[in-house]
Structures are given as structure tokens and as C-alpha cells.
Structure 1
Amino acid sequence: MKKSLFETVRMGDLHLKNRIAMAPMTRGRAGETRVPNEIMAEHYFQRASAGLLITEATVISPQGIGWIGSPGIYSPEMVAGWRRVTDRLKPTQTPIFLQLWHCGRASHSDFHGGELPVSASAVKIEGDGIQTQGGKKAYEAPRPMTAAEIRATVADYRLAALHAREAGFSGVEVHSANGYLLNQFLDSKTNLRTDDYGGSLENKYRFLREVLAAVLEVWPAHRVGVRLSPNGVFNDMGSLDFRETYLYTIKELSKLNLGYVHIMDGLAFGFHQQGEPMTLAEFRAHYDGIIIGNCGYSKEDAEKRLAEGVMDIAAFGRPFITNPDLVARLHNNYPLTPFEDMSKWYTSGPEGYIDYQPYGQ
């Protein structure tokens, strides 16, 4: 039977009112304290017509920081701030998952009191540089994490998962994509280790496996998702053995009965690593749970993938920024407000964040 973007779907014990998710998007509105605030609550409330909301990436610890103004989930004040967001959403009955984040090498010593950022190995990002409180700086070669630091970070993920539950979230998404820490351990370009966390596919996957095991001590499996970017080159990623790596990963994830796997679909934007990009169909062959597909979809792109059965939910990112009523616009074929002007997307105030109007207003 053909699936529609606008039909309901069950995800474990959660009832989603449609097959449209709002993708996680870093917006930098939490300020220097990294405590979620009232305009963030308003932002998510405005977009609660989605079947599922996934928050912006949220750092699990001070060591995980790598972005100006991104929120955290490692202090009582942050928990209380996020509680403001989830309380605002309660009347809408829209589930909201907190995305758990550690930037790893995609950071700078400016964020860490002069200490180098950490990663799997001392492999520097080749790129334009990173925006810090002290201005734009060149990327630095990160410091490889010790085994003890890896264990401590696994504990940080577990505590973050506990805090997310205290803050009233419906579940959590573990961010293992887009060149951030867990992705840095998965991919051979950034993981040159020779210990238990490097070398074989099993070893490169080990950190993610341990993080998920820790999170699953806190949340039932159907309230946990994982994000992957098998074709991604963002943050200077891209490994020749990406297909082998991600087929191994999806087979391992299929054993966990997770709520979903959230996959950056490289075919949508046309950016991918060397070689034939991986398709959602390759993942579907090894994963019969819920797949959320994401990456620059139009309505037609999403409906095509639903019809093919390669995904179950479509995540939209930028269209949700400028169209808080995106679900209604897609359903009624109303024109979308374009997202050509990004000048205020990452500022600190309400402009470019909560001032976009529903269709007809």
C-alpha cells in the first residue's frame, strides 16, 4: 500500500500524526550560557505540526562544544531550560527527541580554555576555519582521546540521556553523522587508531556501540534514534571504504530494535564521497525498522522514497526554517517561503528564527 506523507505512523509506543519530521538544525540561540530560552520554546512550538521534532544538536559536555551559542544538556540549568521547551509542546502532543552531540575535532581550543579539541586521531580538518568567540580561526590538529576519556565520554552520553528524560523529552537521537565525534571514530579517514577503537570495522564501531548501550540503560530502544551520514563530506569527511563501513554499521544497528535510524541521503543533494553513493535501498535491505530519510527533499522526492518503501518518515530541514507551517503548505500545495536570505539564521535574536509567518499571513 502506498504511503503518504500525511498519514499517521507508529514508532514503538509513539503515535506520529504524519510522516514528516523536522530535522535537527543548529541555530545558536542559547547564548553564552547554552541554556535553552523562551524564543527556542516558541520556535519549536511554531513547528509542532510535524509528526516528530528533532532538536538542534545539543552538547553532552563542555568538551563536546564546538559552536557559538549551541545548547547543552549537562547542567541543572540546561535541564530546566529544555523543560521550558517540552512543557510548551505538551498541548500539541508532538513527540520531540533531543539530539545528543559531541563535536570532537570540529571544534577549537578557543572553546576549551586553550586545550586542543579531541578526536579518534590527530587528523586536522582541511577547510576554511571555524568561527569562535575570538573570531574565525584555522582548524587545529586534535588530540587523540585516551581509552579513559572514551569511557568518560560514554558516561557523559548516559548522563545526557538521563537529563533528557528529566527535561521531558520523548526520546533521544545519538548524532553519529556530519563529521562529529562518533562519526570520526567510524570513518577510516579520521580513525587511524591501533587500539580497541581502531583498525577493524568492529573496533571502529565500538565507541558508537558503547554509547548506545549506555543510552539504552536510560531509554527503551524505541525511544532512541541514531543519525548517520554514509555519503557525507561535511567537516572534511569521506573514506574510500565508506560502503563497507556503513553496511557493517546498519547490520549492527538492526540488532537493537531502535526507534529509527536517521540517514543523510546523499542522492538528494548530489554530494557524496568517491564512488557510487549509497542509497536508502541499500540500508533497507538490512534494516526493517523505521528509516528516516533526510537531505534536501522536495515533496516529490519524499513521496517517491515513501512509495518505494526505502524510508518511512521524511525529515525536512531548511524548509522548516522559513515555513513554520510546512506540513500545511505541503499538504495543500501552497508555495513555500524561500530560504535565500540566511543573514539572520545564526544570530542571537528572534529575527530569522521565530518571525516567519504561516501561509496567508
Structure 2
Amino acid sequence: MRQLFDSIPLGHSTLQNRLVMAPMTRSRAEFDGSPGALAAEYYAQRASVGLIVAEGTQPSEDGQGYLNTPGIYTDAHVAGWKKISAAVHEKGGRLFIQLMHAGRMSHPDNTPHHRQGVAPSAISPNTPMFTLNGMQDIPAPRALTTDEVRQTVADFRFAARRAIEAGADGVEIHGANAYLIQQFFAPSANTRTDPYGGSIENRARFAIEVATAIAEEIGAHRTAIRLSPGMALWGIDEGVEGPDLYRYLVAELDKLGLVYLHIMHQGDEALLADIRKRWKQTLILNRPGRPRDQIGDDVTAGLADLESYGQMILANPDFVARLKADAPLNEADRSTYFGGNAQGYTDYATWL
């Protein structure tokens, strides 16, 4: 575990350790998408990790899926994120904002324009979602036109520029967890016949275009991406070609020189090894449910350069100090994950 506490270069910065706070939706933003009043305190409390990846943040009105998630495309959004960036930097931390377009994982009641969600194809995820009116089935999305796909790439580019204006050290593209980019990967969600559907190359095209556009706009040294190969969630099925799609995609993304790749690992060790071979830059690995006694194993084994954690850091703002001292960890309160106030957000006790 000792290697976890070593500094490591990332882009034009140096991280104070190899621990990463994974992005976690907390649904505490204002209804207009501006970060909530306690967000700067929440993130600053956890700035002792090497890198904070902030919660999924929509790049456009169409990108919102859930209630009270933040955006990064208006002046008000930028003003709110400036407070967060400054608070994290004051504590010596580094902050990447995750750009998340929910795609079909959206309900009209949750968005500012109350329009139907958009996706690669008009295929429902067949799952309910929490709204202001309680749990409701997600309606079938509207399929993006080819021109609208290209406009969505431009929306990501614009949001990335706004994130840098807000003081973020970079952005992480959310290409995981059954949201828009992974929807393009999966034949169960993408039946397009234009250049964004069909072959592996076509289904990977949108992700590559988004990454290329953002790297051109803010620099590859500030552009990262998160993937979850093999994740089967909310109707996502990547099919038998799934592993080969990721082998192709990672190799193509590697050519862009992005600052890091963040993998949410689903258990295919052979694919993970292939990704490691294809990716020349920094690799962050997240293993959901990793027990405490395995923290640091992937860095020690050379499978990853950094390791990311979610719930443990959510519940332990002094996570790094607790690991160093082998101190007990707080348990996360699941009932306070989404929405609410300081309870379960900024009031977790520190060890010392």
C-alpha cells in the first residue's frame, strides 16, 4: 500500500498521492444546475486525495437525466464551480469535472426544458427513475439525427471550455455506466445505420469524436475519459463484440495522448490486461466493492497507476490519513446519498 502515498505527475500537475475520489452523483445542485451551497465545502473536505473527479455534470440541457444534478454550460454554472475549484486548490487538491450526458437515462420532469430524452436510437431502457412526482417509467427517447450527434460533440467541447474557465484542472468524459456514450457502444441501444452505428468502428466513433474535440479545445493534458467495459445496466448489452470494441477504442483514444483513462472494472481480467497494454498514459482503476485489505493491490501489481474509491471517500473526508494510520473507516449512510442537506454530505466525522 505504501506506493499509494507517493506523488505522481498527471498532465502539467503533480498529484500528492495515487488515490482518487471517484465521481458520485449527489443530487444537491440548484434546479438551474448551479452547484449547491455546500458543494465547495464537500469537495474541499476531501482534497487530501491526489485527484477529485467531481460528480457527473451535464454539458447541455439535453444532457441532464436526474433531478438536481449540476451543469457546466451557463455563466451561473461557471460561477458556482469557481468556488469549488478555489476551495479544492486552497487545500492543495486537484479537480477534474466529469462531463456526463445521460442520454436515454432521463425523464422530462427532471430537465429544464421538459423535453423527451435523446439517444442513439429510440429504444427505452425499460426502467423507472425518480422524479419530482416520485418513481416514473422512463419514456422512450428520441433518436438523435446525424447532425444532432455532431452538435452534441460541440456541446461537449463547449462544456469543457467552460470547466476550464471555472478553474477545473481538467475534465473527465463519462463514457460509462449506461449513459449516452456507452449507449452508442451497445447494439441493444444503438441500431443506427449512419456512421455512428453498425460496426465496432462506427459505434466507437462518437466517443472518439468527443475526446478529440475536447482535447483540441483544452489540451490533451486536461482531457480524460472513464469507461466501464462489459457493464450490463438498464438494458445495456454490448454483445459478443464488446471486448473487441474496447480494444479498438482504447487504442484509438491512446493516439490522442489523453491524460488518463479511468476504468470501472467489471471483472474481465484478460480485457483489463489488454487495455493496460494498449494505454500508454496514466490508468486509474476502480473496482466496485473492493475490500479494504485489497486497497493498493492494483498499483503494487502494476495494473494501475492510481486507484479510485467512491463510498469510502464519501464517508471519510480524511480517507488518506485513515489509511496511513490503519484507522477505522466510517460507514456510508445510503439514505443520504441523493438530495438533502448537510446530513450525509458535509457532516461525516474525521478521525482526529
After TM superposition, the score normalised by the length of structure 1 is: 0.93
Deviations 1:73-131 (A, max 9, x none): 1110000000011111222221100100110000122235553211111221133x001
- Residue 118 of structure 1: aligned partner: 118
Alignment of 1:199-214 (within 5 A): 199-214=198-213
- Residue 145 of structure 1: aligned partner: 144
CA 1:96/1:81 → structure 2, altered by over 3 Å: closer, same or farther?
A: same
Contact (CA 8 Å) 1:59, 1:100: kept in 2 or not? yes
- Residue 242 of structure 1: aligned partner: 242
Q: Which amino acid is the alignment partner of residue 32 of structure 2?
A: T
Gap regions ≥5 residues in structure 1: 268-275
Question: Which whole-Å CA distance do the structure 2 matches of 1:37 and 1:74 have between them?
Answer: 16
- Residue 320 of structure 2: aligned partner: 327
Contact (CA 8 Å) 2:230, 2:238: kept in 1 or not? no
SS for the counterpart of 2:42 is: helix
Runs (4 or more) in structure 1 with deviation over 3 Å come to 111-114, 276-279
- Residue 347 of structure 1: aligned partner: 339
Contact (CA 8 Å) 2:212, 2:256: kept in 1 or not? no
Tell me by how many angstroms 1:279 deviates. Answer: 4.5
Question: Which whole-Å CA distance do the structure 2 matches of 1:325 and 1:69 have between them?
Answer: 26
- Residue 91 of structure 1: aligned partner: 90
- Residue 80 of structure 2: aligned partner: 81
Question: Which whole-Å CA distance do the structure 2 matches of 1:170 and 1:188 have between them?
Answer: 34
Question: Which whole-Å CA distance do the structure 1 matches of 2:108 and 2:283 have between them?
Answer: 36
Contact (CA 8 Å) 1:21, 1:54: kept in 2 or not? yes
CA 1:304/1:350 → structure 2, altered by over 3 Å: closer, same or farther?
A: same
- Residue 348 of structure 2: aligned partner: 356
Identical pairs, percent: 39
SS for the counterpart of 1:291 is: strand
Q: Structure 1 residues 293-302 or 23-32, which shifts more?
A: 293-302
Question: Which whole-Å CA distance do the structure 2 matches of 1:39 and 1:115 have between them?
Answer: 29
Tell me by how many angstroms 1:347 deviates. Answer: 2.3
After TM superposition, the score normalised by the length of structure 2 is: 0.95
Tell me by how many angstroms 1:152 deviates. Answer: 1.3
- Residue 296 of structure 1: aligned partner: 289
Contact (CA 8 Å) 1:22, 1:52: kept in 2 or not? yes
- Residue 198 of structure 1: aligned partner: 197
Question: Which whole-Å CA distance do the structure 2 matches of 1:246 and 1:332 have between them?
Answer: 38
Contact (CA 8 Å) 1:38, 1:84: kept in 2 or not? no
Alignment of 1:93-242 (within 5 A): 93-112=92-111, 113-127=113-127, 129-240=128-239, 241-242=241-242
Counterpart of 1:282 (choices 255, 259, 274) is: 274
Question: Which whole-Å CA distance do the structure 1 matches of 2:266 and 2:299 have between them?
Answer: 16
Tell me by how many angstroms 1:329 deviates. Answer: 0.9
Tell me by how many angstroms 1:12 deviates. Answer: 2.2
Question: Which whole-Å CA distance do the structure 2 matches of 1:86 and 1:199 have between them?
Answer: 40
CA 1:252/1:302 → structure 2, altered by over 3 Å: closer, same or farther?
A: farther
Q: Which amino acid is the alignment partner of residue 331 of structure 2?
A: P
Deviations 1:198-246 (A, max 9, x none): 0111111111111112111222212111000002123332222211111
Question: Which whole-Å CA distance do the structure 1 matches of 2:275 and 2:11 have between them?
Answer: 20
Tell me by how many angstroms 1:355 deviates. Answer: 0.3
Q: Structure 1 residues 67-76 or 302-311, which shifts more?
A: 302-311
Tell me by how many angstroms 1:153 deviates. Answer: 0.9
SS for the counterpart of 2:224 is: strand
Question: Which whole-Å CA distance do the structure 2 matches of 1:355 and 1:118 have between them?
Answer: 37
User: Is 2:1 the counterpart of 1:8?
Assistant: no
- Residue 255 of structure 2: aligned partner: 255
Q: Which amino acid is the alignment partner of residue 279 of structure 2?
A: Y
Contact (CA 8 Å) 1:79, 1:167: kept in 2 or not? yes
Tell me by how many angstroms 1:3 deviates. Answer: 7.0
Tell me by how many angstroms 1:301 deviates. Answer: 2.7
SS for the counterpart of 1:93 is: coil
Tell me by how many angstroms 1:342 deviates. Answer: 1.2
CA 1:108/1:38 → structure 2, altered by over 3 Å: closer, same or farther?
A: closer
Question: Which whole-Å CA distance do the structure 2 matches of 1:120 and 1:87 have between them?
Answer: 37
CA 1:187/1:317 → structure 2, altered by over 3 Å: closer, same or farther?
A: same
Question: Which whole-Å CA distance do the structure 2 matches of 1:126 and 1:37 have between them?
Answer: 31
Contact (CA 8 Å) 1:280, 1:311: kept in 2 or not? no
SS for the counterpart of 1:38 is: coil
CA 1:253/1:3 → structure 2, altered by over 3 Å: closer, same or farther?
A: farther
RMSD: 1.6
Tell me by how many angstroms 1:132 deviates. Answer: 1.4
Contact (CA 8 Å) 1:32, 1:69: kept in 2 or not? yes
CA 1:68/1:111 → structure 2, altered by over 3 Å: closer, same or farther?
A: closer
Tell me by how many angstroms 1:278 deviates. Answer: 5.3
Question: Which whole-Å CA distance do the structure 2 matches of 1:141 and 1:278 have between them?
Answer: 35
SS for the counterpart of 1:343 is: helix
Tell me by how many angstroms 1:299 deviates. Answer: 4.1
SS for the counterpart of 1:225 is: strand
- Residue 39 of structure 2: aligned partner: 40
SS for the counterpart of 1:232 is: coil
Question: Which whole-Å CA distance do the structure 2 matches of 1:151 and 1:81 have between them?
Answer: 28
Q: Which amino acid is the alignment partner of residue 220 of structure 1?
A: G
